[in-house]
Structure 1
């Protein structure tokens, strides 16, 4: 069985609703969705899921706990991560809940597409699932252009563990990928953990903990991977990130130079921003109206009506308008 997975708790409730509605806009209720709980703060999400028969919350505690322990064992072997995390927060492990998406390798789908909660689906995933007929790992992103947010590029071991070609072509963003059940067996995990404990752990980038481990697991296991960004013709490729300001909205879908996006990722925008906007604060960010359209797709009467002057999500009254502000004005996203 094929399905879609995401990771969430109530802090990203508004984003989860928008994601689920964007999936329904394409598939109706025919595509099953599984939500992996970031933590136990899921009361609002649980109530929402009760209204959606095709959506479930993953509740296999053994699976979740096994992956939790696997990740803790990895970071226990890292030479500097815990000391670094002490300088940025109070938790012993940084954002350990993000790794719970790994339970998708256990259940419930034979093949799945994982997407972060801050994503809107724009098109069918047929092309992703088709490539899973020939590959174990399928992505569509441009993370390979920035190795520094995947691995510790200062580690001398990095280029000894992976070939230049792997580091140039196999890097991916952990926010969107297609894969399969059981590709990381318990035995395979033991092999990977042993390599990390023997010194390879130093290549991991500790401030993107789920992304770095996932890249390591896929690349070190030499899984067959496919990135559409490498294979599509230049005039067929699209962007996927909210930082791209050249997308056009047509009939509630984003296009990049005439090509429909597969998904839009509101990466880098705080979940608090979406909560504030949904509460009525007139904060402008790229493709805000599109997000609000999907968030309130089934309850348009609840969509916030802004009555105050708009302000840019990253604006400051003490600084002159930035280039991005001027671009937003040009696009008509803000008036002054």
Structure 2
């Protein structure tokens, strides 16, 4: 049986990818890692990842075919890019058991050890997404139409960290499930552009019955979202002050990673692990909105014209 980690990235997220890989290898020098390119622009990020032992997903034709098929199923208006579904290739890669991780994450442990739970389950997640109800996942229509029960909706999860097994369903099963989603866009909460997460939750809740969220284990588990204000730094990791437990990983989901963002010092620590941290650069102010730019121009004209 083979175990490993999948990531999806392109050249735009080189810095995030390096920080993630440095954190991973700090705690685990052995686990195989495979990169699934997000798009055709992946040569630089793959070059940067190779010193960490990262290999390229072998069947890139399959990945491309997958995205084209999803585009055919959903059409242009369903979500902004079918490339966000490239993580679906994980189900059909070389690892018998695998962990998928977004690269806007750093880890604080040998994260692959969590796959031990796959002895009793077929799908794992590790987050508190469900505490917000079905926000960014489903609308109330899934309850109204009896698609899922209240109990099943307690299993909604963040799609940036999950683990599962190869061979749970076929490619055709995947396409059939996605076709169901395309017929009912009103089932999904796309209000904040989380276009891969709603579809992915539907797939897992429909196709995989033996699911387990690690935060529901006895004694609970620490949080992981970078917008949570109650994490405290202790050395090169964070402690969840609500549970008293060290974080397993930190996820900047929906957060731009830049100086001044939550837990920037932790991200910077891992990005430059083994290197000299560069001098801090000034944070450029955000550009003015179009309406504000128009007001500013009017003010300048007024200043020139007034006596």
Structure 1 equivalent of residue 5 of structure 2: 4
| 1:101 match | 87
Partner of 1:208: 194
In structure 2, list runs of 5 or more residues that go unmatched. Answer: 288-307
Superposed displacement of residue 262, structure 1: 1.0
Is the 1:15–1:117 contact (alpha carbons within 8 Å) kept by the matching residues of 2?
yes
Residue 170 of structure 1: aligned partner? 155
| Residue of structure 1 in register with 2:65 after alignment | 66
Aligned length: 282
Look up the SS of the partner of 1:132 in the other structure.
helix
- Is 1:141 the counterpart of 2:127? The answer is yes
The partner residue of 2:265 within 286, 289, 293 is 289
Task: Verify the 8 A CA contact 1:21 1:295 in the aligned structure 2.
Answer: yes
Q: Can you list the C-alpha shifts for 1:172-220, whole angstroms capped at 9, x where unaligned?
A: 00010011112231232244245345x4443133432211111111111
- The Cα offsets for residues 230-264 of structure 1, whole Å up to 9 and x where unpaired, read as 2332xx42110111122122221111133111100
Question: For residue 254 of structure 1, what is the aligned residue in structure 2?
Answer: 238
> What residue number does 1:56 align with?
55
User: Of the candidates 159, 164, 168, which is equivalent to residue 183 of structure 1?
Assistant: 168
Distance 1:122 1:312 in 2: 32
Residue 304 (1) aligns with residue 281 (2) = no
SS in 2 for 1:178: strand
Q: Larger Rg: 1 or 2?
A: 2
Q: Where does the alignment leave 5 or more consecutive residues of structure 1 unmatched? A: 86-92, 275-282, 315-336
Q: Deviations over 1:58-81 (max 9, x none)?
A: 2412321232134224423xxxx8
TM-score, length-scaled by structure 2: 0.83
Answering whether residue 115 of structure 2 is matched by residue 129 of structure 1, we say yes
* Structure 1 residue 40 corresponds to structure 2 residue 40: yes
2:17 is aligned to: 16
> 1:113 touches 1:177 (CA, 8 Å); kept in 2?
yes
Q: Are 1:113 and 1:176, in contact at CA under 8 Å, matched by a contact in 2?
A: yes
Task: Please tell me the root mean square deviation across aligned C-alpha atoms, in Å.
Answer: 2.5
The structure 2 residue matched to 1:160, chosen from 126, 129, 146, is 146
TM-score by length of 1: 0.76
Residues 17, 49 of structure 2: 8 Å contact kept? no
